[in-house]
Amino acid sequence: GQQLNQSPQSMFIQEGEDVSMNCTSSSIFNTWLWYKQDPGEGPVLLIALYKAGELTSNGRLTAQFGITRKDSFLNISASIPSDVGIYFCAGTNAGKSTFGDGTTLTVKP
Amino acid sequence: DTGVSQDPRHKITKRGQNVTFRCDPISEHNRLYWYRQTLGQGPEFLTYFQNEAQLEKSRLLSDRFSAERPKGSFSTLEIQRTEQGDSAMYLCASSPDTGYNQPQHFGDGTRLSIL
Chain B CB contacts of A6 below 8 Å? 42
Per-residue pLDDT averaged across A69-75, rounded? 96
Across the interface, of A33, A42, A102, the residue whose CB is closest to B103 is: A33
| Number of neighbouring beta carbons within 10 Å of residue A96 | 19
**Chain A residues in contact with B106 (beta carbon < 8 A):** 35, 42-44
User: Which residue, among A44, A66, A50, A90, has the nearest Cα to B101 in the 3D structure?
Assistant: A50
| B62-108 per-position pLDDT tens digit | 899 999 999 889 999 999 999 999 999 999 999 987 666 788 999 99
pLDDT of amino acid B3: 93
In this structure, the number of other CB atoms found within 10 A of the CB of residue B102 comes to 18
Residue A61 has pLDDT above 60, yes or no: yes
Q: How many whole angstroms separate alpha carbon B17 and alpha carbon B25?
A: 26
pLDDT at site B100: 60
pLDDT, tens only, A13-31: 999 999 999 999 999 999 9
CA dihedral in degrees (B52, A46, B42, B51; nearest 10)? 0
- Kindly report, residue by residue over B8-65, the tens digit of the pLDDT: 999 999 999 999 999 999 998 999 999 999 999 999 999 999 999 999 899 888 899 9
Contact B103 A102 (CB under 8 A): no
pLDDT of residue B60: 82
Q: Answer whether B33's CB lies under 8 Å from B48's CB.
A: yes
Q: What is the pLDDT of residue A32?
A: 94
Does A1 have pLDDT greater than 70? no
Q: Is A109 on the interface with B (CB under 8 A)?
A: no
